[in-house]
Structure 1
Amino acid sequence: MYIKKLRLQDYRNYKSLEIGFSPNINVFLGHNAQGKTNLLEAMYFLALTRSHRTSNDKDLIRWGSEFARISGVVIKDNSSQLKLDLVISKSGKKAKLNNLEQRKLSSYIGNLNVVLFSPEDLSIVKGNPGIRRKFIDMEFGQISSQYLKTVSQFRQVLKQRNVYLKKLQHHQTKDLVYLEVLSDQLSAYCAEVVKTRLDFLKKLQVHIEKIHDQITDHQEVLKIVYSSFYDSTDKSLEDIYGIYKQTFKDNYQKEIQRGVTLFGPHRDDIKFLINDKNVQDFGSQGQQRSVALSLKLAEVELIKEQVGDYPILLLDDVLSELDQKRQTHLLSSIGRGIQTFITTTSLEDVDSSIVKDPNILNITNGKVQQEEV
């Protein structure tokens, strides 16, 4: 899988751009604040219909414009060609696949798979649980459109239930039968979301354990543990459904008092353990960086395993953040026919012994010029 061509219109600091890429390694070279990261963000958005830098899509529209457009031509299986098109306006966004408008974004996402490496990856390990939940939902959503649909349905029912709990809290209604109906619906979606997360994390564990073992010269064992209010280990879909249904039944008065749903995958977390110790609490900065790197490299392998093709790698100013050992592990993964985009202010950060014959693109104030190597 690789991006053959990218077109931008009124996106960030790009008024109009059409550019082709190498299926191997592409380097965006330039000073800071010239638009290098904007190009990676555009590819990320083209794949996932959201930015990794802002939750407000309006930020992507060039100042003074009514809308922004990102279009791309993607080659899959070295033969089939897909045309992806996204229009971002102040009223929302529209997605097209091969010129056909997609009614739901869940049917669009997954046609282009990307894995982004950035200095902010450390927050997945160090940050709050919401960051980790967002990470697993975004990444697993690339692999399974059904997971995306289930998460969307879960959020809709969760919102309805929270609204109704507020009504009960403020004595605007006394009907507990409808709360029971919503609780049953939510229990079913909770079970599906959690079971899918557990299944994917189990597969991710196989890859991350092996990769981290190599990075740390067999000194550390890394494990991912799903953290919820109950022990989810070896639970079936029916078991999880029953646990949620009983939990909502036992705690409805507390939830009415608080006016919010207190249990569910929207409150769960994942923990990273090195030699059975929580990295977030006890890991050094170096260990936390190694975990973040192992996680992203494991994600690459999981996507390859599940969809049959490697994702596109987006390396946003990360080479200068890594020591030689970790950089070598990252760059060595590139030499397997994976299309890679690297942003950097200097080619000195790019190991020429590993990254050979890159397609270098100079970025200056929203202008792109290809460099002959």
Structure 2
Amino acid sequence: MYLEDLTLKDFRNFDRVKVNFDSHINIFIGKNAQGKTNLLEAIYFLALTKSHRTSIDKELIKFNMKIAGIHGTLCKRNIRFDLKLLISNKGKKAWINRLEQKKLSNYLGTMNAILFSPEDLSLVKGSPAFRRRFMDLEFGQINGEYLYFLTRYRQVLQQRNTYLKQISSKKASDPIFLNVLTDQLAGLAAEVVHKRVLYLDLLKENAKKAYAFISDQKEILDIEYKASFPEFDEKDSVEKIYKKILLSFEHVKVNEMRLGTTLVGPHRDDLQVFINKKSAQEYASQGQQRSIVLSIKLAEIDLMHQILNEYPILLLDDVMSELDNIRQKNLLNYINGKTQTFITTTDINSISQEMIKIPRIFRIVSGTVSEEK
């Protein structure tokens, strides 16, 4: 798949701009705070209906404006899709081929994108919340069921936490209602965990191959799912996971009612990364961290192709300066001809000359876009 064009209206620092893209490599060049990353963010938002930089959608609307618009033409399996998103203080609306989608979940999955930014280095040594967000964003793109169970899980989790807070402050005390919420949450949690492990297994195999390629077979990468409940086995069925989570809820019940929050479940799970069986979180060098993240991103591309039979769009946000020439070359060799790629940079010289032989280059200055010939 590839994005043919993008039109923005009152998005971030852009008034109105339309850009036509190359189906292979596009480079956005310019000084900081001119709008390069905003342009990349708009493409990401068009795919996932959320930003990689903020969870508050109204921050995307240009100052003093009420609505921001993103409009693009996607080519997928030789079929064109007219995609449109409007963002306002009331929320966001989505259209596919001029038909408004009643639910955003109906829109998601039409366009797929993988983002690699400097913040992604937190995948190794950052917080568990960052790694959970990574799983939810990437696995949600390739499986509608995962997205459904995750959304339902979050809804019931919020209900249960609200009720636990009421119990904690002595405003409620109905054990039957708490048991109903607990049982519902355990069932949804089991589905989320099982699907995470399923897709992590596939991602892990691709990441291992990519890492071996990058490290010239000298090191072995491994990734494990770290559950927040005891005796978890990655081979467990949904039913087994459900029973183990339910048992864990029983063990932490008193603490949950005292603290007013849910202590067990996928919202507290994590990923563990290993290099040659040693914890990457503890021992990985800066270079190894970059190689791990690069391997995972390349694995995501292949996983999407495996499942969807379509390569996603690749967004590289100011990461070329983070990669040395060897890693840039490995990245280029891996994606060559597979994906439409968008790259932001302040310095064209930070990008390997091999990578910029036939790109389309755009200069961004104060929210304006001009193509360089």
| Both structures adopt the same fold (TM-score exceeding 0.5) | yes
User: Could you say which residue in structure 1 is the equivalent of 2:278?
Assistant: 277
Give 1:250 deviation, angstroms: 3.2
Distance 1:47 1:293 in 2: 21
Distance 1:218 1:321 in 2: 22
Q: Which stretch of structure 1 is more off in the superposition, 258-267 or 341-350?
A: 341-350
Q: Which stretch of structure 1 is more off in the superposition, 146-155 or 363-372?
A: 363-372
SS in 1 for 2:40: helix
Gaps of 5+ in 2: none
User: Could you say which residue in structure 2 is the equivalent of 1:350?
Assistant: 351
User: Could you say which residue in structure 2 is the equivalent of 1:14?
Assistant: 14
Tell me the amino acid that sits aligned with residue 105 of structure 1: L
User: Could you say which residue in structure 2 is the equivalent of 1:30?
Assistant: 30
User: Could you say which residue in structure 1 is the equivalent of 2:135?
Assistant: 136
Tell me the amino acid that sits aligned with residue 18 of structure 2: E
CA contact 1:109–1:142 (8 Å) conserved in 2: yes
Give 1:346 deviation, angstroms: 2.6
Distance 2:315 2:109 in 1: 16
Give 1:145 deviation, angstroms: 1.6
CA contact 2:187–2:242 (8 Å) conserved in 1: yes
Distance 1:342 1:59 in 2: 23
Distance 1:254 1:126 in 2: 29
Distance 1:208 1:58 in 2: 36
SS in 1 for 2:310: coil
Please tell me whether residue 294 in structure 1 is matched to residue 295 in structure 2.
yes
Q: Which stretch of structure 1 is more off in the superposition, 178-187 or 161-170?
A: 161-170
User: Could you say which residue in structure 2 is the equivalent of 1:41?
Assistant: 41
Superposition RMSD on alpha carbons, in Å? 1.2
1:340-366 residue CA offsets vs partner (Å, 9 max, x unmatched): 111122322232334431111121111
Find runs of 4+ consecutive structure 1 residues off by over 3 angstroms.
Answer: none
CA contact 1:332–1:354 (8 Å) conserved in 2: no
CA contact 1:133–1:269 (8 Å) conserved in 2: yes
Distance 2:252 2:334 in 1: 49
User: Could you say which residue in structure 1 is the equivalent of 2:170?
Assistant: 171
CA contact 2:189–2:266 (8 Å) conserved in 1: yes
* 1:45-124 map, 5 Å: 45-77=45-77, 79-124=78-123
Distance 1:251 1:125 in 2: 29
Give the TM-score normalised by the residue count of structure 1: 0.97
CA contact 2:24–2:337 (8 Å) conserved in 1: no
Give 1:237 deviation, angstroms: 0.6
CA contact 1:331–1:355 (8 Å) conserved in 2: no
User: Could you say which residue in structure 2 is the equivalent of 1:243?
Assistant: 244
Distance 1:147 1:233 in 2: 17
Distance 1:138 1:232 in 2: 24
Please tell me whether residue 330 in structure 1 is matched to residue 331 in structure 2.
yes
Give the TM-score normalised by the residue count of structure 2: 0.97
CA contact 2:325–2:352 (8 Å) conserved in 1: no
Distance 1:121 1:170 in 2: 39
- Identity rate, percent: 49
SS in 1 for 2:75: strand
Tell me the amino acid that sits aligned with residue 64 of structure 1: N
1:93-126 residue CA offsets vs partner (Å, 9 max, x unmatched): 1111221222222221111111111111101111
Give 1:232 deviation, angstroms: 2.7
Tell me the amino acid that sits aligned with residue 359 of structure 2: P
Distance 2:335 2:190 in 1: 37
CA contact 2:156–2:185 (8 Å) conserved in 1: yes
Give 1:287 deviation, angstroms: 1.0
Distance 1:2 1:262 in 2: 42
Tell me the amino acid that sits aligned with residue 249 of structure 2: F
SS in 1 for 2:353: coil
SS in 1 for 2:65: coil
User: Could you say which residue in structure 2 is the equivalent of 1:196?
Assistant: 195
Give 1:128 deviation, angstroms: 0.4
CA contact 1:107–1:145 (8 Å) conserved in 2: no
CA contact 1:187–1:241 (8 Å) conserved in 2: yes
SS in 1 for 2:39: helix
Give 1:334 deviation, angstroms: 3.0
Give 1:219 deviation, angstroms: 1.2
SS in 1 for 2:160: helix
1:128-175 residue CA offsets vs partner (Å, 9 max, x unmatched): 000000010001111112211111100110111111112222222221
User: Could you say which residue in structure 2 is the equivalent of 1:150?
Assistant: 149
Q: May I ask how many residue pairs the two structures share in their alignment?
A: 371
Tell me the amino acid that sits aligned with residue 267 of structure 2: H
CA contact 1:143–1:306 (8 Å) conserved in 2: yes
Gaps of 5+ in 1: none
Distance 1:365 1:344 in 2: 15
Please tell me whether residue 308 in structure 1 is matched to residue 319 in structure 2.
no
User: Could you say which residue in structure 2 is the equivalent of 1:368?
Assistant: 369
SS in 1 for 2:166: helix
Distance 1:333 1:58 in 2: 37
Sort the Cα spacing of 1:368 and 1:168 in 2 relative to 1 into closer, same or farther, 3 A: same
CA contact 2:202–2:303 (8 Å) conserved in 1: yes
Distance 1:333 1:217 in 2: 14
Distance 2:322 2:252 in 1: 47
Distance 1:172 1:320 in 2: 55
Sort the Cα spacing of 1:165 and 1:336 in 2 relative to 1 into closer, same or farther, 3 A: same
Give 1:186 deviation, angstroms: 0.5
